[in-house]
Amino acid sequence: MKHFNLLGSLLLSGACLVGGTNLAVAQSQYQPMKDNIIANLSSVRLMVNTPTNLTGTKKASIADWGAQPSTPMLNKPVIQGEDSLAATNPLTNAAAVAGKVCLLYRGGGISFVTKATAAASAGAIAVIIVNNVPGDPIAMGGGTGVALGIPVMMVTQADGDLINEALHNNVPVTVSFGTWALGATHDLGIVGNYQATPHATNVPYTQLAGTSGAFPYSFICGGGVANYGTATEHNIVVTDSVYWTPTGGSASFKAAHSYTIDSIAPADSIKFGFNATPYTLAAPTGQGSYSHNYSMTYDSVALEGTPQDNLYTFNHNISDSIVCKGAYDFTKYEPNVSISIQPAGGSNNFTMGPIFYMPNGGYASKVQYYLSINPPASLENLTASVYVFKWTDTLQKDSTIEAGELQLMGANIKNFTSADTFGVFTVDLTDDNGSPFAQIDANSHYWVAVEAPLGSFLGMDKTASWFSRAYGFYLAGGVRAAAGTADPAESIIGTDLNTGLADPNNVFGVYPFAGNALFIDSVQFDRYNEVPAVAMHMYKTAPVGVKNVTKNIGNVTLFPNPAQGSTNVSVELNNASKNVTYKVIDALGRSMYSETHHNVQSEKVSLDVSRYAAGNYYLLIGTDNGTTFKKFTVIK
C-alpha cells in the first residue's frame, strides 16, 4: 500500500479549476484541460495487442521508483518470470526473460522492489506484476531511494490471470504501453475514472424508494475524453446507456444520454463535455446494479488506432444496507482501498470523510474505514474516532458546513492493540444514550467522518473521481437554481472557513475544509481522484425496542452543564474497562482534548474548559464495551 501526502495536490486541483472558464450552459458544454492540470489522470496506458481474445487497454498502475515510459514501447512480448511468485534472484528462466516484459505475481512475502530487481537483473525491459487480490491495481510502495531503470506496472488479478493462462497454454502475448501515446495518428479514449458518477456508488434500495425526483440523487451525463493521437479530432459524441440488472435477474435497458465535444487538438489532450440537463432513474424495489455503458464516436473513428478504450463501463450498486461513495467489495464485505493518505506536514490528528444524502429515515449500525501506518510501527496505543454528524445547512445556505450546523448522532472510539497494524476496521455506532445505532432522519445529509491518529494513513478509493460530477453541476447551475435548497452537489470555489488556511492555533486541520478547492458532495478530491474509503451500514429493519434499549455501557453524567471554567464527568460502568478514553470535540468535529485511563469501572474526572471559546461541544467516552457521548455548552 503506497502512502501519499495530500495537502499540496488538494490545493493544486482546486486552484486549477478556479482558473477554468465558466462557460454558458448550452445543450452540451466542454472545458479544455491542459496536460498538467490532471497530471496523474492516467500514469500509464497499457494495452494487450495479442492474442485477440485479450486485446484492449487494461487498468494499470506504475511504480514511481521505476522508469516512466514517456516514449511508448510497442508490441513487446510477455514472458512469465520463474519462480514467478517468489521472484528469486536470479530468476530460474533468466535467459528467456531477457529483452521481454516479465510477468510476476504479487505476494510470497517478497517486496515489489525485490521482484522487479530480479527481473531487471535478468534483462527484462519492463515488469508487469499481477495483483493477488480482487480490485484495482494499487500504488506500489517500498521504493524509497530506489531508481530502477525499467517500468514496473501492476494489473488487476482478473487481467493478469488471463495473461498468465495464455502464456501457460503457449499462446504468445504482446503488449504496448506508455505514459500517454501509443503511436497512433487517430487515437481518442474515454477517460474512465473521469465520467460523472452518482451521488454514491453504493446505496441501499430502501433509501431510493420515493426519490426518483430528489436532486441529490440526480445524474449528469458528462466526463473526459483524451486525445492520445497526433491528429485533431472533430464531432465527438459519448453516449451513456444505462441498464438495470436485479440480483439473480437479467439486464434491462433504462435510459441513454449523451454529451458532445466539438474538437480535441493534440495540444489540449483532454476535454470535458457535459449534457446540461440532469436526469433521474426510477427507484428499484430490490438489490441489483445499474451499469453505465459508455461508447464514443467521432469523425475519424473508423481509423482509430486503439478502439478498445472507446468503451467504458461503470457500475452503480444497489444493496440492502451499505452506503459508500467509492467501490465496495461484496466478496470481502469492505470498501475498496486503492491508496492511503495523510496531510502533508501534519503534526496532529486529521479528520476526513464523505457526506451522504439520506432521503429516507433509518438507523446506522456500523462504519468501516481503512487505517495504516508506516512499518515497522503498529497502531498499538493509538486511537481513532468515528463521528456521524447530521448536517443542516441553516446558517448561510451555502452548501458548506459551518459551526452550528452539525449535530452528532452516533460515534465510536477505537483503541488499537498490538494486533492492529493496517486494514479495514469495522466499528459499531452508539448514540448519546449508549443505544447501538445512529438515528438517520429522512431528507437529511450526514457527514461520516474518521479522525485518524497522527502518523496514520486513511484509506482512499480511486475507482471513480467526483471531479466530473462537481464540474458538471457547476456548469449546469448547481443547487443555487433550486431556490436556496441545500445540497452539497454544488461546486464550492474559494471557500473560506476560518480563513481556510492552516492555523497553528487549531488542534488539527479538518478535511474537507481547505480553502481554494472544489467540493463535491462535500467530499474534497484532488488530482489523484480518490474518495475516502468509508462505508456506513444501515440496519435492514429497525432495531427491536429502539426507544427502550438497555444501556450496554453504564451511566455517564456531566455536570455542570452549561459549564464555565470546568465541568465534571462521573462514570459508572456496567463492567470494568481496560481502556476508557475521554475526548472533547468542538461543533465542527475538531479535537480539543483526549486522554485515556486504564482499568476503570467507576471514576470522576474534572475537565478544564476555561480555554474553550463559548459554544457547544461534545464529550465522548470510549470503553471496551462501546462509546457514548454528551453535548455540553461553554459559557463565558
> Do 365 and 499 reside in the same domain of the chain?
yes
* Residue partners of 92: CB distance under 8 A and separation at least 6: 82, 83
Predicted local confidence at residue 509, as pLDDT: 29
Asked whether the predicted pLDDT for residue 426 surpasses 60, the reply is yes
Per-residue confidence band for 10, with pLDDT thresholds at 50, 70 and 90: very low
- Using the structure block, give the residue that is written with the C-alpha cell 473560506: 496
> Do 30 and 168 reside in the same domain of the chain?
no
List the CATH number of the domain containing 565. Answer: 2.60.40.3080
pLDDT tens for 175-187 read: 999 988 888 999 9
Task: Look at the alpha carbons of 615, 621, 622, 627 in this order and tell me if their dihedral is positive or negative.
Answer: negative
Predicted local confidence at residue 116, as pLDDT: 93
Q: What is the DSSP string of 75-134?
A: EEEEEE-SSTTT--SS-TTHHHHTTSEEEEESBTTB-HHHHHHHHHHTT-SEEEEEPSSS
List the CATH number of the domain containing 262. Answer: 2.60.40.10
Which comes out higher in pLDDT, residue 339 or 335?
Answer: 335
- Average confidence (pLDDT) over 217-223: 87
Domain presence at residue 545: no
Residue pair 148/120 in contact by the 8 Å Cβ criterion: yes
Cell numbers for 290, please give them.
445499474
Residue 12's Cβ-count burial label (10 Å; 0-12, 13-18, 19+) is middle
Mean pLDDT lowest among 92-101, 139-148, 221-230: 139-148
Which comes out higher in pLDDT, residue 475 or 424?
Answer: 424
> Do 315 and 336 reside in the same domain of the chain?
no
Task: Give me the percent of the chain exceeding a pLDDT of 70.
Answer: 78
Mean pLDDT lowest among 49-63, 440-454, 501-515, 518-532: 501-515
Asked whether the predicted pLDDT for residue 23 surpasses 80, the reply is no
Predicted local confidence at residue 488, as pLDDT: 34
Domain presence at residue 6: no
> Do 77 and 100 reside in the same domain of the chain?
yes
End of a domain among 154, 178, 202?
Answer: 178
Cell numbers for 324, please give them.
459508500
Predicted local confidence at residue 467, as pLDDT: 67
Residue pair 191/166 in contact by the 8 Å Cβ criterion: no
Predicted local confidence at residue 122, as pLDDT: 92
What's the full length of the chain, in residues?
Answer: 636
Asked whether the predicted pLDDT for residue 252 surpasses 70, the reply is yes
Per-residue confidence band for 191, with pLDDT thresholds at 50, 70 and 90: confident
Predicted local confidence at residue 39, as pLDDT: 37
- Average confidence (pLDDT) over 391-407: 74
Cell numbers for 556, please give them.
455517564
Predicted local confidence at residue 502, as pLDDT: 36
- Average confidence (pLDDT) over 320-343: 88
Per-residue confidence band for 144, with pLDDT thresholds at 50, 70 and 90: low
Which helix (H) or strand (E) segment is 12 a member of?
Answer: helix 7-18
Q: Which residue, 130, 126, 119, is CA-closest to 75?
A: 126
Domain presence at residue 413: yes
> Do 438 and 515 reside in the same domain of the chain?
yes
* Residue partners of 2: CB distance under 8 A and separation at least 6: 138, 139, 140, 141, 339, 340
Asked whether the predicted pLDDT for residue 42 surpasses 60, the reply is no
Residue pair 122/91 in contact by the 8 Å Cβ criterion: yes
- Average confidence (pLDDT) over 393-402: 66
End of a domain among 319, 339, 373?
Answer: 319
Domain presence at residue 346: yes
Distance set, CA 579 to CA 437, 469, 625, 626 (Å):
22, 43, 10, 11
User: What sections of 382-534 are H helices per DSSP?
Assistant: 467-475
Predicted local confidence at residue 464, as pLDDT: 66
Strand ranges in 179-232 using DSSP code E only, listed in sequence order: 188-195, 202-204, 222-227
Integer Cα distance of 402 and 395 in angstroms:
8
Asked whether the predicted pLDDT for residue 504 surpasses 50, the reply is no
Asked whether the predicted pLDDT for residue 589 surpasses 80, the reply is yes
Predicted local confidence at residue 378, as pLDDT: 87
End of a domain among 282, 300, 319?
Answer: 319
List the CATH number of the domain containing 140. Answer: 3.50.30.30
Based on the structure, what is the number of domains in the chain? Answer: 4
pLDDT tens for 451-500 read: 999 889 888 887 766 767 766 776 665 443 333 333 333 322 222 222 33
Integer Cα distance of 293 and 279 in angstroms:
16
Per-residue confidence band for 524, with pLDDT thresholds at 50, 70 and 90: very low
Distance set, CA 401 to CA 9, 270, 394, 447, 536 (Å):
22, 33, 9, 9, 20
Mean pLDDT lowest among 200-204, 315-319, 540-544: 540-544
Task: Give me the percent of the chain exceeding a pLDDT of 90.
Answer: 45
> Do 161 and 193 reside in the same domain of the chain?
no
pLDDT tens for 61-89 read: 899 899 989 889 999 999 998 865 555 56
Predicted local confidence at residue 395, as pLDDT: 65
Predicted local confidence at residue 475, as pLDDT: 67
- DSSP letter at 550 equals P
- Average confidence (pLDDT) over 122-150: 84
Residue at 472: amino acid letter: G
Q: How many CB atoms lie within 10 A of CB 496?
A: 11
Predicted local confidence at residue 582, as pLDDT: 95
Predicted local confidence at residue 472, as pLDDT: 75
Q: What is the DSSP string of 599-614?
A: EEEEEEEEEE-TTSPS
Backbone angles phi, psi at 302, to 5 degrees: -65, -20
> Do 55 and 134 reside in the same domain of the chain?
yes
> Do 237 and 352 reside in the same domain of the chain?
no
* Residue partners of 165: CB distance under 8 A and separation at least 6: none
Mean pLDDT lowest among 168-172, 267-271, 320-324, 561-565: 267-271
Per DSSP bridges, beta strands 531-532 and 456-461 are antiparallel
Per DSSP bridges, beta strands 615-623 and 626-634 are antiparallel
- Using the structure block, give the residue that is written with the C-alpha cell 505476494: 107
Domain presence at residue 566: yes
Mean pLDDT lowest among 178-182, 527-531, 551-555: 527-531
Residue pair 533/369 in contact by the 8 Å Cβ criterion: yes
Q: Which residue, 439, 414, 437, is CA-closest to 426?
A: 414
Helix, strand, coil share (%) of the chain residues, nearest 5? 10, 45, 45
Predicted local confidence at residue 529, as pLDDT: 55
Which comes out higher in pLDDT, residue 552 or 594?
Answer: 594
> Do 355 and 455 reside in the same domain of the chain?
yes
Domain presence at residue 543: no
Which comes out higher in pLDDT, residue 29 or 353?
Answer: 353
> Do 289 and 377 reside in the same domain of the chain?
no
Asked whether the predicted pLDDT for residue 508 surpasses 70, the reply is no
Asked whether the predicted pLDDT for residue 503 surpasses 50, the reply is no
Cell numbers for 198, please give them.
452518482
Q: What is the DSSP string of 489-526?
A: TS---S--STTSS--TTSSS-BTT--SS--EETTEE--
Integer Cα distance of 449 and 512 in angstroms:
10
Residue 441's Cβ-count burial label (10 Å; 0-12, 13-18, 19+) is middle
> Do 391 and 505 reside in the same domain of the chain?
yes
Predicted local confidence at residue 517, as pLDDT: 35
Q: Which domain holds residue 113?
A: 45-178
> Do 450 and 356 reside in the same domain of the chain?
yes
Predicted local confidence at residue 87, as pLDDT: 55
Q: Which residue, 195, 220, 189, 215, is CA-closest to 25?
A: 220
Asked whether the predicted pLDDT for residue 630 surpasses 60, the reply is yes
Asked whether the predicted pLDDT for residue 505 surpasses 80, the reply is no
Predicted local confidence at residue 34, as pLDDT: 32
Asked whether the predicted pLDDT for residue 518 surpasses 80, the reply is no
